[in-house]
Structure 1
Amino acid sequence: MKIECGIIQCYSCSDCGDSILTNENIIQTTKDEDQCIKTIIKTGINSEGQKTINRGASSQCRPYSSELISIDCCQSDFCNK
Structure 2
Amino acid sequence: MAKDNRGVERGRLGRWFHDTFDDWAFRSLIGPAQTKGAVQGCDESAREQWKRDLAARKKYTQEQRERRRQERSIS
| TM-score bracket relative to the smaller structure | under 0.3
- Greater strand fraction, Structure 1 or Structure 2: 1
- Greater helix fraction, Structure 1 or Structure 2: 2
TM-score, structure 1 normalization: 0.22
Question: Taking CA–CA contacts closer than 8 Å with sequence separation of 6 or more, which of the two structures ends up with the larger relative contact order?
Answer: 1
TM-score, structure 2 normalization: 0.23
| Structure label with greater radius of gyration | 2
